[in-house]
Amino acid sequence: MVLVEAGYPHGLEDYRKDMDTRQLLQNALAVAPATTRLAAWAQVREADTRIRACLSRSEECLWGDLAEAREGWSPDRNWWYFEIPSEPGPRLRRDLEGW
């Protein structure tokens, strides 16, 4: 999260992998025992709020239309795949220009 707040220094592939980590967290919490899930959600919501303040809506899914359809992702449920840093570093900015 600090990387996004300070201006993301890596490229698009790294950012996608970072967002995959958020998806993995979502998947893990979905199958976690209720007590674990409830205890973790407060921290997850806090982190989500903090990072989303540094993001802007993307025109499309970071992994493209095919992955979006195959995985059933949506901007509401899987927002991490539909938002990009408001302050991308030079590498991510360059990657996003050609994307």
* Residue 2 confidence (pLDDT): 62
* Residue 6 confidence (pLDDT): 84
Q: What does pLDDT average to in each consecutive run of 10 residues of the chain (99 residues)? A: 81 96 96 94 94 95 97 97 95 90
* Residue 3 confidence (pLDDT): 77
- 51 C-beta neighbours (distance < 10 Å), count: 19
| Residue 28, domain extent | 2-97
Torsion of the alpha carbons at 90, 91, 92 and 95, rounded to the nearest 10: 120
- Residues whose CB is less than 8 angstroms from the CB of residue 27 and which lie 6 or more positions away in sequence, other chains included: none
**pTM reported for the whole predicted model:** 0.90
* Residue 63 confidence (pLDDT): 97
The count of domains in the chain is 1
